[in-house]
Structure 1
Protein backbone atom coordinates (compact mmCIF):
# COMPACT_ATOMS: atom_id res chain seq x y z
CA UNK A 1 0.00 0.00 0.00
CA UNK A 2 1.20 3.49 -0.86
CA UNK A 3 0.16 6.19 1.59
CA UNK A 4 -2.17 8.53 -0.34
CA UNK A 5 -0.37 11.62 0.99
CA UNK A 6 2.82 10.60 -0.83
CA UNK A 7 0.92 10.33 -4.11
CA UNK A 8 -0.14 13.99 -3.91
CA UNK A 9 3.41 15.24 -4.47
CA UNK A 10 5.27 15.36 -7.77
CA UNK A 11 8.94 15.87 -8.50
CA UNK A 12 9.32 18.85 -10.80
CA UNK A 13 12.22 19.37 -13.22
CA UNK A 14 12.56 22.60 -15.17
CA UNK A 15 14.00 22.81 -18.66
CA UNK A 16 14.94 25.28 -21.33
CA UNK A 17 14.40 23.12 -24.39
CA UNK A 18 16.43 19.99 -23.65
CA UNK A 19 18.68 21.68 -21.09
CA UNK A 20 17.86 20.65 -17.53
CA UNK A 21 17.87 23.64 -15.19
CA UNK A 22 16.57 22.92 -11.68
CA UNK A 23 14.68 20.47 -9.49
CA UNK A 24 11.73 21.39 -7.31
CA UNK A 25 8.55 20.07 -5.73
CA UNK A 26 4.88 20.35 -6.60
CA UNK A 27 1.54 18.75 -5.84
CA UNK A 28 -1.82 17.98 -7.42
CA UNK A 29 -4.96 20.00 -6.76
CA UNK A 30 -8.33 19.07 -8.25
CA UNK A 31 -11.36 21.31 -8.56
CA UNK A 32 -14.53 20.01 -10.18
CA UNK A 33 -13.31 18.19 -13.30
CA UNK A 34 -10.06 20.15 -13.61
CA UNK A 35 -6.64 19.04 -12.40
CA UNK A 36 -3.76 21.37 -11.60
CA UNK A 37 -0.12 21.18 -10.66
CA UNK A 38 0.82 23.62 -7.91
CA UNK A 39 4.36 24.80 -7.25
CA UNK A 40 6.26 27.95 -6.31
CA UNK A 41 6.18 30.75 -8.85
CA UNK A 42 9.97 31.13 -8.70
CA UNK A 43 10.30 27.52 -9.87
CA UNK A 44 8.93 28.42 -13.29
CA UNK A 45 9.82 32.11 -13.53
CA UNK A 46 12.27 34.10 -11.45
CA UNK A 47 13.53 37.47 -12.63
CA UNK A 48 16.24 38.02 -9.93
CA UNK A 49 18.05 34.79 -10.77
CA UNK A 50 17.33 34.99 -14.52
CA UNK A 51 15.57 31.64 -14.34
CA UNK A 52 13.26 31.35 -17.35
CA UNK A 53 12.42 27.72 -18.23
CA UNK A 54 10.04 27.06 -21.10
CA UNK A 55 8.77 23.69 -19.92
CA UNK A 56 8.60 21.46 -16.87
CA UNK A 57 8.53 17.73 -16.44
CA UNK A 58 6.88 15.82 -13.62
CA UNK A 59 7.31 12.18 -12.73
CA UNK A 60 4.15 10.06 -12.73
CA UNK A 61 3.38 6.62 -11.36
CA UNK A 62 1.79 4.59 -14.13
CA UNK A 63 1.09 1.13 -12.69
CA UNK A 64 -1.14 0.61 -9.64
CA UNK A 65 0.42 -2.81 -9.14
CA UNK A 66 4.05 -1.73 -9.51
CA UNK A 67 5.06 1.40 -7.66
CA UNK A 68 8.47 1.35 -9.33
CA UNK A 69 6.95 1.99 -12.77
CA UNK A 70 7.01 5.67 -13.70
CA UNK A 71 7.27 8.01 -16.63
CA UNK A 72 8.11 11.64 -17.24
CA UNK A 73 5.28 13.94 -18.29
CA UNK A 74 6.30 17.15 -20.02
CA UNK A 75 4.25 20.34 -19.91
CA UNK A 76 5.05 23.52 -21.85
CA UNK A 77 4.91 26.75 -19.86
CA UNK A 78 4.04 28.93 -22.84
CA UNK A 79 1.68 28.70 -25.79
CA UNK A 80 2.56 30.99 -28.68
CA UNK A 81 4.50 33.18 -26.28
CA UNK A 82 1.70 33.41 -23.70
CA UNK A 83 2.14 31.89 -20.24
CA UNK A 84 -0.20 28.97 -19.56
CA UNK A 85 0.46 29.19 -15.82
CA UNK A 86 -1.15 31.57 -13.35
CA UNK A 87 0.54 33.38 -10.49
CA UNK A 88 -0.96 34.68 -7.28
CA UNK A 89 -1.14 38.42 -6.61
CA UNK A 90 -2.73 40.37 -3.76
CA UNK A 91 -2.69 43.88 -2.30
CA UNK A 92 0.86 43.37 -0.99
CA UNK A 93 2.20 42.29 -4.37
CA UNK A 94 3.23 39.00 -5.91
CA UNK A 95 2.57 35.68 -4.20
CA UNK A 96 5.13 32.95 -4.73
CA UNK A 97 2.58 30.36 -5.85
CA UNK A 98 1.77 29.26 -9.40
CA UNK A 99 -0.60 26.73 -10.92
CA UNK A 100 -0.67 25.11 -14.33
CA UNK A 101 -3.65 23.11 -15.54
CA UNK A 102 -2.92 19.51 -16.49
CA UNK A 103 -4.64 18.07 -19.54
CA UNK A 104 -6.15 14.98 -17.97
CA UNK A 105 -6.80 13.44 -21.37
CA UNK A 106 -3.06 13.51 -22.10
CA UNK A 107 -2.14 11.59 -18.95
CA UNK A 108 -1.39 7.87 -19.30
CA UNK A 109 -4.59 5.95 -18.69
CA UNK A 110 -3.03 4.06 -15.78
CA UNK A 111 -1.63 7.13 -13.97
CA UNK A 112 -1.76 6.79 -10.18
CA UNK A 113 -1.95 10.00 -8.16
CA UNK A 114 -3.96 11.72 -5.45
CA UNK A 115 -5.05 15.33 -5.41
CA UNK A 116 -6.05 17.81 -2.75
CA UNK A 117 -9.41 19.47 -3.28
CA UNK A 118 -11.20 22.54 -1.89
CA UNK A 119 -12.40 20.28 0.93
CA UNK A 120 -8.80 20.04 2.11
CA UNK A 121 -8.57 23.81 2.68
CA UNK A 122 -9.32 25.35 6.06
CA UNK A 123 -12.48 27.38 6.55
CA UNK A 124 -12.33 31.09 7.19
CA UNK A 125 -12.84 30.81 10.93
CA UNK A 126 -10.61 27.82 11.62
CA UNK A 127 -7.73 28.67 13.93
CA UNK A 128 -4.50 26.81 14.59
CA UNK A 129 -2.13 27.43 17.45
CA UNK A 130 1.56 28.16 17.13
CA UNK A 131 3.51 24.95 17.61
CA UNK A 132 0.94 22.82 15.75
CA UNK A 133 2.67 19.89 14.05
CA UNK A 134 2.85 19.86 10.25
CA UNK A 135 4.51 17.93 7.46
CA UNK A 136 6.27 19.24 4.35
CA UNK A 137 6.10 16.69 1.51
CA UNK A 138 8.68 17.14 -1.20
CA UNK A 139 12.02 16.50 -2.83
CA UNK A 140 14.80 18.33 -0.92
CA UNK A 141 17.85 18.72 -3.17
CA UNK A 142 15.99 16.42 -5.56
CA UNK A 143 16.37 13.61 -3.02
CA UNK A 144 13.73 10.88 -3.12
CA UNK A 145 13.22 7.14 -3.27
CA UNK A 146 14.72 6.62 -6.71
CA UNK A 147 13.39 3.06 -6.96
CA UNK A 148 9.78 3.80 -6.04
CA UNK A 149 9.84 7.48 -7.07
CA UNK A 150 8.41 8.67 -3.77
CA UNK A 151 8.91 11.98 -1.96
CA UNK A 152 10.10 12.31 1.61
CA UNK A 153 8.59 14.35 4.43
CA UNK A 154 10.01 16.82 6.90
CA UNK A 155 8.42 17.57 10.24
CA UNK A 156 7.52 21.19 10.87
CA UNK A 157 5.59 23.34 13.29
CA UNK A 158 3.67 26.57 12.84
CA UNK A 159 6.11 29.29 13.91
CA UNK A 160 3.99 32.46 13.55
CA UNK A 161 0.41 33.41 14.32
CA UNK A 162 -1.62 31.38 11.85
CA UNK A 163 -4.17 33.48 9.99
CA UNK A 164 -2.08 36.64 10.20
CA UNK A 165 -0.06 37.76 7.22
CA UNK A 166 3.53 37.72 8.48
CA UNK A 167 4.99 41.20 7.95
CA UNK A 168 1.95 41.96 5.82
CA UNK A 169 2.70 39.23 3.28
CA UNK A 170 0.38 36.34 2.43
CA UNK A 171 2.36 33.68 4.25
CA UNK A 172 2.94 32.20 7.69
CA UNK A 173 6.17 30.81 9.08
CA UNK A 174 7.15 27.21 9.67
CA UNK A 175 10.02 25.87 11.72
CA UNK A 176 11.50 23.00 9.73
CA UNK A 177 14.73 21.82 8.20
CA UNK A 178 14.34 22.37 4.48
CA UNK A 179 16.61 22.56 1.44
CA UNK A 180 16.61 23.75 -2.15
CA UNK A 181 14.26 21.57 -4.16
CA UNK A 182 11.53 21.76 -1.52
CA UNK A 183 10.04 24.86 -3.13
CA UNK A 184 6.45 24.15 -4.12
CA UNK A 185 5.90 21.37 -1.58
CA UNK A 186 2.53 21.09 0.20
CA UNK A 187 2.48 21.99 3.90
CA UNK A 188 -0.15 19.81 5.57
CA UNK A 189 -1.71 18.98 8.93
CA UNK A 190 -3.19 15.65 9.92
CA UNK A 191 -6.92 15.65 10.66
CA UNK A 192 -7.63 13.66 13.81
CA UNK A 193 -11.27 14.59 14.44
CA UNK A 194 -13.66 11.65 13.97
CA UNK A 195 -16.21 11.79 11.21
CA UNK A 196 -14.22 13.94 8.82
CA UNK A 197 -15.24 13.84 5.16
CA UNK A 198 -11.77 13.58 3.64
CA UNK A 199 -11.76 9.83 3.06
CA UNK A 200 -8.34 8.21 2.95
CA UNK A 201 -6.56 11.57 2.55
CA UNK A 202 -7.15 13.04 6.02
CA UNK A 203 -4.81 15.99 5.66
CA UNK A 204 -5.59 19.70 5.58
CA UNK A 205 -3.61 21.68 3.02
CA UNK A 206 -2.40 24.77 4.87
CA UNK A 207 0.24 26.23 2.62
CA UNK A 208 2.78 26.04 -0.18
CA UNK A 209 6.39 25.98 0.94
CA UNK A 210 8.36 28.75 -0.71
CA UNK A 211 11.75 29.56 0.77
CA UNK A 212 13.91 29.67 3.86
CA UNK A 213 14.17 32.94 5.74
CA UNK A 214 17.40 34.37 7.04
CA UNK A 215 18.68 37.54 8.69
CA UNK A 216 20.90 39.72 6.57
CA UNK A 217 22.99 40.71 9.58
CA UNK A 218 23.64 37.13 10.70
CA UNK A 219 27.29 36.29 11.30
CA UNK A 220 27.81 33.28 9.01
CA UNK A 221 30.46 31.88 11.38
CA UNK A 222 29.00 32.58 14.82
CA UNK A 223 25.25 32.34 14.16
CA UNK A 224 23.26 29.38 12.95
CA UNK A 225 20.65 29.83 10.24
CA UNK A 226 17.18 30.66 11.55
CA UNK A 227 15.61 27.46 10.29
CA UNK A 228 12.39 29.32 9.49
CA UNK A 229 10.47 29.13 6.22
CA UNK A 230 7.71 30.90 4.31
CA UNK A 231 4.53 28.96 3.58
CA UNK A 232 2.03 30.88 1.44
CA UNK A 233 -1.56 30.38 2.55
CA UNK A 234 -3.20 27.71 0.42
CA UNK A 235 -6.50 29.55 0.04
CA UNK A 236 -4.92 31.43 -2.91
CA UNK A 237 -5.58 28.23 -4.89
CA UNK A 238 -9.31 28.98 -4.93
CA UNK A 239 -8.55 32.14 -6.88
CA UNK A 240 -5.93 30.66 -9.17
CA UNK A 241 -8.01 27.62 -10.10
CA UNK A 242 -11.23 29.57 -10.60
CA UNK A 243 -10.07 31.33 -13.77
Structure 2
Protein backbone atom coordinates (compact mmCIF):
# COMPACT_ATOMS: atom_id res chain seq x y z
CA UNK A 1 0.00 0.00 0.00
CA UNK A 2 1.55 3.36 -0.99
CA UNK A 3 2.69 5.69 1.74
CA UNK A 4 1.45 9.25 1.99
CA UNK A 5 2.35 12.39 3.89
CA UNK A 6 0.51 12.38 7.21
CA UNK A 7 -1.63 15.35 8.20
CA UNK A 8 -1.70 16.40 11.85
CA UNK A 9 -4.04 14.11 13.77
CA UNK A 10 -7.27 15.48 15.24
CA UNK A 11 -9.12 14.94 18.48
CA UNK A 12 -12.89 14.50 18.92
CA UNK A 13 -13.57 18.16 18.14
CA UNK A 14 -11.46 18.15 14.96
CA UNK A 15 -8.80 20.33 16.60
CA UNK A 16 -5.10 19.73 17.05
CA UNK A 17 -4.27 17.01 19.62
CA UNK A 18 -3.17 17.63 23.14
CA UNK A 19 0.53 17.85 23.86
CA UNK A 20 2.26 14.49 24.04
CA UNK A 21 0.07 12.59 21.56
CA UNK A 22 2.39 10.74 19.14
CA UNK A 23 2.20 11.92 15.54
CA UNK A 24 1.02 9.53 12.83
CA UNK A 25 3.98 10.53 10.68
CA UNK A 26 6.18 8.38 12.89
CA UNK A 27 4.75 5.10 11.57
CA UNK A 28 5.13 3.12 8.37
CA UNK A 29 2.61 0.85 6.57
CA UNK A 30 4.66 -2.21 7.53
CA UNK A 31 3.75 -1.68 11.18
CA UNK A 32 0.08 -2.15 10.45
CA UNK A 33 0.47 -5.07 8.03
CA UNK A 34 2.25 -7.17 10.65
CA UNK A 35 -0.47 -6.81 13.30
CA UNK A 36 -3.93 -8.25 12.77
CA UNK A 37 -5.72 -5.58 14.82
CA UNK A 38 -3.95 -2.72 13.08
CA UNK A 39 -4.55 -4.30 9.67
CA UNK A 40 -8.27 -4.48 10.42
CA UNK A 41 -8.34 -0.84 11.53
CA UNK A 42 -6.49 0.11 8.36
CA UNK A 43 -9.08 -1.76 6.29
CA UNK A 44 -11.94 -0.02 8.12
CA UNK A 45 -10.35 3.36 7.45
CA UNK A 46 -10.06 2.59 3.75
CA UNK A 47 -13.71 1.55 3.62
CA UNK A 48 -14.76 4.77 5.35
CA UNK A 49 -12.92 6.80 2.70
CA UNK A 50 -14.60 4.84 -0.10
CA UNK A 51 -17.99 5.50 1.51
CA UNK A 52 -17.21 9.23 1.50
CA UNK A 53 -17.06 9.64 5.27
CA UNK A 54 -15.02 12.41 6.85
CA UNK A 55 -11.60 11.56 8.25
CA UNK A 56 -12.78 12.81 11.64
CA UNK A 57 -15.07 9.75 11.80
CA UNK A 58 -12.11 7.66 12.96
CA UNK A 59 -13.64 5.67 15.87
CA UNK A 60 -10.38 5.89 17.83
CA UNK A 61 -11.07 9.61 18.27
CA UNK A 62 -14.26 8.86 20.16
CA UNK A 63 -13.96 9.48 23.87
CA UNK A 64 -14.94 5.89 24.72
CA UNK A 65 -11.90 4.61 22.82
CA UNK A 66 -9.32 7.00 24.22
CA UNK A 67 -6.78 6.09 26.92
CA UNK A 68 -8.73 7.89 29.65
CA UNK A 69 -11.64 5.48 29.09
CA UNK A 70 -9.83 2.27 28.07
CA UNK A 71 -6.77 2.45 30.33
CA UNK A 72 -4.41 1.57 27.49
CA UNK A 73 -1.17 3.44 26.88
CA UNK A 74 -1.12 6.65 24.88
CA UNK A 75 1.27 5.11 22.36
CA UNK A 76 -0.96 2.09 21.71
CA UNK A 77 -3.99 4.31 21.27
CA UNK A 78 -2.07 6.50 18.84
CA UNK A 79 -0.91 3.46 16.84
CA UNK A 80 -4.50 2.26 16.49
CA UNK A 81 -5.68 5.72 15.51
CA UNK A 82 -2.91 6.02 12.93
CA UNK A 83 -3.68 2.61 11.41
CA UNK A 84 -7.22 3.77 10.63
CA UNK A 85 -5.93 7.10 9.29
CA UNK A 86 -3.39 5.36 7.07
CA UNK A 87 -6.07 3.17 5.53
CA UNK A 88 -8.25 6.24 4.97
CA UNK A 89 -5.47 8.20 3.25
CA UNK A 90 -4.52 5.25 1.05
CA UNK A 91 -7.80 5.71 -0.80
CA UNK A 92 -7.08 9.40 -1.36
CA UNK A 93 -3.69 8.74 -2.99
CA UNK A 94 -3.97 8.90 -6.80
CA UNK A 95 -1.41 6.09 -7.22
CA UNK A 96 -3.36 3.78 -4.92
CA UNK A 97 -5.47 0.93 -6.28
CA UNK A 98 -9.13 1.89 -6.82
CA UNK A 99 -11.63 0.33 -4.48
CA UNK A 100 -14.03 -2.08 -6.13
CA UNK A 101 -17.33 -0.41 -6.99
CA UNK A 102 -19.12 -3.36 -8.56
CA UNK A 103 -19.63 -7.05 -8.01
CA UNK A 104 -16.84 -7.73 -10.50
CA UNK A 105 -14.34 -6.50 -7.92
CA UNK A 106 -15.72 -8.74 -5.19
CA UNK A 107 -15.99 -12.07 -6.97
CA UNK A 108 -12.47 -12.91 -5.84
CA UNK A 109 -13.63 -13.09 -2.23
CA UNK A 110 -14.02 -16.72 -1.17
CA UNK A 111 -16.02 -15.67 1.88
CA UNK A 112 -18.81 -14.63 -0.50
CA UNK A 113 -18.45 -16.85 -3.55
CA UNK A 114 -16.87 -19.88 -1.93
CA UNK A 115 -19.68 -20.42 0.58
CA UNK A 116 -23.02 -21.98 -0.29
CA UNK A 117 -26.31 -22.94 1.34
CA UNK A 118 -26.77 -26.71 1.67
CA UNK A 119 -30.36 -27.96 1.49
CA UNK A 120 -30.97 -31.60 2.41
CA UNK A 121 -33.76 -33.82 1.08
CA UNK A 122 -35.23 -37.27 1.55
CA UNK A 123 -36.89 -37.94 -1.76
CA UNK A 124 -39.05 -34.88 -2.40
CA UNK A 125 -39.24 -33.94 1.26
CA UNK A 126 -37.14 -31.00 2.38
CA UNK A 127 -35.32 -31.78 5.64
CA UNK A 128 -32.92 -29.03 6.67
CA UNK A 129 -30.82 -26.03 5.69
CA UNK A 130 -27.13 -25.78 6.53
CA UNK A 131 -23.92 -24.18 5.27
CA UNK A 132 -20.93 -25.41 3.32
CA UNK A 133 -17.98 -24.19 1.29
CA UNK A 134 -15.89 -25.24 -1.69
CA UNK A 135 -12.37 -26.60 -1.36
CA UNK A 136 -10.09 -27.34 -4.32
CA UNK A 137 -7.06 -29.58 -4.36
CA UNK A 138 -5.04 -30.95 -7.28
CA UNK A 139 -7.74 -29.97 -9.74
CA UNK A 140 -10.49 -31.74 -7.78
CA UNK A 141 -13.38 -29.81 -6.26
CA UNK A 142 -15.09 -30.67 -2.97
CA UNK A 143 -18.05 -29.43 -1.01
CA UNK A 144 -17.13 -29.24 2.68
CA UNK A 145 -19.76 -29.25 5.41
CA UNK A 146 -20.42 -30.81 8.80
CA UNK A 147 -20.81 -34.58 8.71
CA UNK A 148 -24.04 -34.38 10.71
CA UNK A 149 -25.58 -32.32 7.89
CA UNK A 150 -25.34 -35.38 5.63
CA UNK A 151 -26.01 -38.05 8.24
CA UNK A 152 -26.85 -37.93 11.93
CA UNK A 153 -27.90 -41.19 13.57
CA UNK A 154 -29.08 -39.76 16.94
CA UNK A 155 -31.63 -37.48 15.27
CA UNK A 156 -32.39 -40.00 12.49
CA UNK A 157 -31.40 -37.44 9.92
CA UNK A 158 -30.77 -39.48 6.75
CA UNK A 159 -31.08 -37.37 3.59
CA UNK A 160 -30.44 -38.97 0.23
CA UNK A 161 -29.50 -35.84 -1.70
CA UNK A 162 -28.57 -32.19 -1.28
CA UNK A 163 -28.97 -29.04 -3.33
CA UNK A 164 -26.52 -26.15 -3.57
CA UNK A 165 -26.62 -22.89 -5.53
CA UNK A 166 -23.92 -21.38 -7.73
CA UNK A 167 -23.89 -17.86 -9.15
CA UNK A 168 -23.63 -17.70 -12.93
CA UNK A 169 -23.09 -13.98 -13.62
CA UNK A 170 -20.79 -11.67 -11.59
CA UNK A 171 -22.70 -8.69 -12.93
CA UNK A 172 -26.10 -10.08 -11.91
CA UNK A 173 -26.12 -11.83 -8.56
CA UNK A 174 -29.74 -12.85 -9.05
CA UNK A 175 -28.61 -15.26 -11.78
CA UNK A 176 -28.20 -18.72 -10.23
CA UNK A 177 -27.92 -22.39 -11.05
CA UNK A 178 -29.06 -25.14 -8.65
CA UNK A 179 -27.02 -28.32 -8.46
CA UNK A 180 -28.56 -31.50 -7.02
CA UNK A 181 -26.09 -34.07 -5.66
CA UNK A 182 -26.91 -37.65 -4.63
CA UNK A 183 -25.42 -38.71 -1.31
CA UNK A 184 -25.13 -42.42 -2.07
CA UNK A 185 -23.58 -44.34 -4.94
CA UNK A 186 -24.04 -48.07 -5.26
CA UNK A 187 -25.44 -48.20 -1.76
CA UNK A 188 -22.37 -46.49 -0.26
CA UNK A 189 -22.02 -42.99 1.14
CA UNK A 190 -20.63 -40.60 -1.47
CA UNK A 191 -19.06 -38.31 1.10
CA UNK A 192 -15.82 -38.91 2.98
CA UNK A 193 -15.29 -38.54 6.70
CA UNK A 194 -12.53 -39.38 9.15
CA UNK A 195 -11.77 -40.14 12.76
CA UNK A 196 -8.69 -39.76 14.90
CA UNK A 197 -7.58 -40.67 18.40
CA UNK A 198 -10.33 -38.48 19.87
CA UNK A 199 -13.12 -40.13 17.88
CA UNK A 200 -15.25 -39.14 14.90
CA UNK A 201 -14.59 -35.76 13.30
CA UNK A 202 -17.71 -33.81 12.36
CA UNK A 203 -16.49 -32.77 8.92
CA UNK A 204 -17.42 -34.28 5.55
CA UNK A 205 -16.00 -33.82 2.05
CA UNK A 206 -18.18 -34.53 -0.98
CA UNK A 207 -16.41 -34.47 -4.32
CA UNK A 208 -18.23 -32.54 -7.04
CA UNK A 209 -18.23 -33.57 -10.68
CA UNK A 210 -16.93 -30.51 -12.49
CA UNK A 211 -18.84 -31.44 -15.63
CA UNK A 212 -22.07 -30.87 -13.69
CA UNK A 213 -21.16 -27.26 -12.91
CA UNK A 214 -22.54 -24.42 -15.03
CA UNK A 215 -20.00 -23.34 -17.63
CA UNK A 216 -20.28 -19.72 -16.50
CA UNK A 217 -20.31 -20.47 -12.79
CA UNK A 218 -18.93 -17.83 -10.42
CA UNK A 219 -17.22 -19.99 -7.83
CA UNK A 220 -14.15 -19.19 -5.74
CA UNK A 221 -12.98 -22.24 -3.84
CA UNK A 222 -10.66 -22.29 -0.86
CA UNK A 223 -7.50 -24.34 -1.28
CA UNK A 224 -4.33 -25.54 0.37
CA UNK A 225 -2.88 -22.01 0.20
CA UNK A 226 -5.63 -20.87 2.57
CA UNK A 227 -4.52 -23.26 5.31
CA UNK A 228 -2.26 -21.80 7.99
CA UNK A 229 1.45 -22.49 8.00
CA UNK A 230 1.57 -23.02 11.75
CA UNK A 231 -0.53 -22.96 14.88
CA UNK A 232 1.65 -20.24 16.40
CA UNK A 233 0.23 -17.67 13.98
CA UNK A 234 -2.97 -17.20 16.01
CA UNK A 235 -3.84 -16.93 19.68
CA UNK A 236 -6.76 -16.51 22.04
CA UNK A 237 -8.82 -13.42 21.29
CA UNK A 238 -7.87 -13.06 17.62
CA UNK A 239 -10.72 -11.95 15.35
CA UNK A 240 -12.52 -14.40 13.08
CA UNK A 241 -15.24 -14.26 10.43
CA UNK A 242 -17.78 -17.06 9.93
CA UNK A 243 -19.86 -16.70 6.73
CA UNK A 244 -22.93 -18.90 6.49
CA UNK A 245 -26.70 -19.21 6.58
CA UNK A 246 -27.89 -19.09 10.23
CA UNK A 247 -31.47 -20.39 10.53
CA UNK A 248 -31.49 -20.35 6.72
CA UNK A 249 -31.22 -16.54 6.78
CA UNK A 250 -29.38 -14.83 3.92
CA UNK A 251 -29.74 -12.22 1.18
CA UNK A 252 -32.61 -13.87 -0.70
CA UNK A 253 -32.25 -11.49 -3.65
CA UNK A 254 -28.53 -11.93 -4.31
CA UNK A 255 -28.11 -15.30 -2.55
CA UNK A 256 -25.05 -14.29 -0.56
CA UNK A 257 -24.22 -15.47 2.97
CA UNK A 258 -24.14 -13.33 6.07
CA UNK A 259 -21.05 -13.14 8.27
CA UNK A 260 -20.76 -13.55 12.01
CA UNK A 261 -17.86 -11.91 13.82
CA UNK A 262 -16.11 -14.23 16.25
CA UNK A 263 -12.92 -14.67 18.23
CA UNK A 264 -10.71 -17.59 19.16
CA UNK A 265 -11.88 -18.74 22.59
CA UNK A 266 -9.46 -21.57 23.41
CA UNK A 267 -5.75 -22.17 22.91
CA UNK A 268 -5.34 -22.38 19.14
CA UNK A 269 -3.36 -25.46 18.14
CA UNK A 270 -4.40 -27.40 21.24
CA UNK A 271 -7.09 -30.07 20.95
CA UNK A 272 -9.88 -28.88 23.24
CA UNK A 273 -10.70 -31.68 25.71
CA UNK A 274 -8.60 -34.03 23.56
CA UNK A 275 -10.68 -33.63 20.41
CA UNK A 276 -9.69 -32.12 17.09
CA UNK A 277 -11.39 -28.77 17.49
CA UNK A 278 -10.91 -25.38 19.11
CA UNK A 279 -13.54 -23.02 20.51
CA UNK A 280 -14.89 -19.80 19.05
CA UNK A 281 -16.85 -17.07 20.78
CA UNK A 282 -19.70 -15.92 18.54
CA UNK A 283 -23.46 -15.74 18.34
CA UNK A 284 -24.28 -18.77 16.20
CA UNK A 285 -27.48 -20.56 15.20
CA UNK A 286 -28.68 -23.75 13.58
CA UNK A 287 -28.03 -23.62 9.86
CA UNK A 288 -24.45 -22.40 10.34
CA UNK A 289 -23.06 -25.93 10.59
CA UNK A 290 -20.43 -26.41 7.90
CA UNK A 291 -19.43 -22.74 7.68
CA UNK A 292 -15.74 -21.93 7.20
CA UNK A 293 -14.01 -20.25 10.14
CA UNK A 294 -11.76 -17.56 8.68
CA UNK A 295 -9.08 -15.08 9.75
CA UNK A 296 -7.81 -12.24 7.63
CA UNK A 297 -4.28 -12.56 6.30
CA UNK A 298 -3.66 -8.81 6.59
CA UNK A 299 -4.21 -5.61 4.68
CA UNK A 300 -1.35 -6.17 2.22
CA UNK A 301 -1.78 -9.02 -0.26
CA UNK A 302 1.24 -10.20 -2.18
CA UNK A 303 1.38 -12.39 -5.25
CA UNK A 304 -0.43 -15.63 -4.54
CA UNK A 305 -1.38 -14.53 -1.05
CA UNK A 306 -5.06 -15.19 -0.27
CA UNK A 307 -7.30 -12.76 1.56
CA UNK A 308 -8.30 -15.34 4.17
CA UNK A 309 -6.76 -18.07 6.27
CA UNK A 310 -9.06 -21.08 6.66
CA UNK A 311 -8.73 -22.05 10.31
CA UNK A 312 -11.61 -24.42 10.85
CA UNK A 313 -15.08 -25.75 10.08
CA UNK A 314 -17.89 -24.62 12.38
CA UNK A 315 -19.80 -27.57 13.77
CA UNK A 316 -22.06 -26.80 16.72
CA UNK A 317 -22.69 -24.68 19.77
CA UNK A 318 -21.19 -25.73 23.10
CA UNK A 319 -23.05 -25.59 26.36
CA UNK A 320 -23.09 -27.00 29.88
CA UNK A 321 -25.53 -29.82 30.52
CA UNK A 322 -25.78 -28.62 34.12
CA UNK A 323 -26.66 -25.02 33.15
CA UNK A 324 -29.75 -23.65 34.88
CA UNK A 325 -31.71 -22.28 31.91
CA UNK A 326 -33.73 -20.00 34.21
CA UNK A 327 -30.67 -18.32 35.72
CA UNK A 328 -27.78 -18.77 33.31
CA UNK A 329 -27.44 -17.65 29.72
CA UNK A 330 -25.94 -19.92 27.09
CA UNK A 331 -22.15 -19.93 27.05
CA UNK A 332 -22.10 -18.56 23.52
CA UNK A 333 -19.21 -20.86 22.61
CA UNK A 334 -18.88 -23.07 19.55
CA UNK A 335 -16.59 -25.81 18.32
CA UNK A 336 -14.64 -25.48 15.08
CA UNK A 337 -12.78 -28.50 13.76
CA UNK A 338 -9.22 -27.72 12.69
CA UNK A 339 -9.15 -27.18 8.94
CA UNK A 340 -6.10 -29.36 8.34
CA UNK A 341 -8.47 -32.35 8.45
CA UNK A 342 -9.26 -31.32 4.86
CA UNK A 343 -5.81 -32.54 3.86
CA UNK A 344 -6.83 -35.97 5.07
CA UNK A 345 -10.28 -35.95 3.53
CA UNK A 346 -9.08 -34.82 0.10
CA UNK A 347 -5.91 -36.92 -0.08
CA UNK A 348 -5.71 -39.74 -2.60
CA UNK A 349 -3.51 -42.79 -2.31
CA UNK A 350 -3.65 -45.73 -4.70
CA UNK A 351 -7.00 -44.52 -6.02
CA UNK A 352 -8.56 -44.40 -2.56
CA UNK A 353 -9.33 -41.47 -0.32
CA UNK A 354 -7.39 -41.16 2.91
CA UNK A 355 -10.34 -41.83 5.20
CA UNK A 356 -10.45 -45.40 3.82
CA UNK A 357 -7.07 -46.08 5.40
CA UNK A 358 -6.70 -47.21 8.98
CA UNK A 359 -5.28 -44.72 11.41
CA UNK A 360 -5.67 -41.63 9.22
CA UNK A 361 -4.87 -38.73 11.53
CA UNK A 362 -3.66 -35.30 10.50
CA UNK A 363 -5.41 -33.31 13.19
CA UNK A 364 -3.29 -31.10 15.42
TM-score over 0.5 for the pair: yes
Distance 1:169 1:196 in 2: 35
2:324 corresponding residue in structure 1:
219
1:75 corresponding residue in structure 2:
181
Q: Following TM superposition, by how much is the alpha carbon of 1:228 offset from its aligned partner in structure 2, in angstroms?
A: 0.1
String of CA shifts for 1:40-79, please: whole Å, max 9, x gaps: 0000000110000011100111122211111211000001
Higher helix content, 1 or 2: 2
Are the counterparts in 2 of residues 87 and 240 from structure 1 also a CA contact under 8 Å?
yes
Distance 1:95 1:162 in 2: 17
Unmatched 5+ stretches in structure 1 = none
Q: Following TM superposition, by how much is the alpha carbon of 1:130 offset from its aligned partner in structure 2, in angstroms?
A: 0.3
Alignment of 1:90-129 (within 5 A): 90-124=196-230, 126-129=232-235
1:241 corresponding residue in structure 2:
346
Q: Following TM superposition, by how much is the alpha carbon of 1:17 offset from its aligned partner in structure 2, in angstroms?
A: 1.1
Higher strand content, 1 or 2: 1
Matched, 1:130 2:232: no
From the superposition, tell whether residues 158 and 81 of structure 1 become closer, same or farther in structure 2 (CA, over 3 Å): same
From the superposition, tell whether residues 224 and 71 of structure 1 become closer, same or farther in structure 2 (CA, over 3 Å): same
Relative to the length of structure 2, the TM-score reads 0.65
1:228 corresponding residue in structure 2:
333
String of CA shifts for 1:167-202, please: whole Å, max 9, x gaps: 000000000000000000000000116454445x41
**RMSD of aligned alpha carbons:** 1.2
Matched, 1:87 2:193: yes
Distance 1:213 1:196 in 2: 37
Instruction: Name segments (4+ residues, structure 1) moved above 2 Å.
Output: 124-127, 193-199
Distance 1:208 1:196 in 2: 26
Alignment of 1:141-180 (within 5 A): 141-180=247-286
Aligned residues: 242
Are the counterparts in 2 of residues 64 and 110 from structure 1 also a CA contact under 8 Å?
no
Distance 2:301 2:172 in 1: 32
Unmatched 5+ stretches in structure 2 = 1-101, 348-352, 354-364
From the superposition, tell whether residues 195 and 140 of structure 1 become closer, same or farther in structure 2 (CA, over 3 Å): closer
Distance 2:230 2:248 in 1: 34
Relative to the length of structure 1, the TM-score reads 0.96
1:7 corresponding residue in structure 2:
113
Are the counterparts in 2 of residues 127 and 163 from structure 1 also a CA contact under 8 Å?
no
2:154 corresponding residue in structure 1:
48
Larger RCO (CA within 8 A; separation ≥ 6): 1
Alignment partner for residue 23 of structure 1, among 115, 126, 129? 129
More divergent stretch after superposition (227-236 vs 102-111) = 102-111
Are the counterparts in 2 of residues 121 and 205 from structure 1 also a CA contact under 8 Å?
yes
Alignment of 1:54-65 (within 5 A): 54-65=160-171
Alignment partner for residue 203 of structure 1, among 303, 308, 323? 308
1:33 corresponding residue in structure 2:
139
2:25 corresponding residue in structure 1:
none
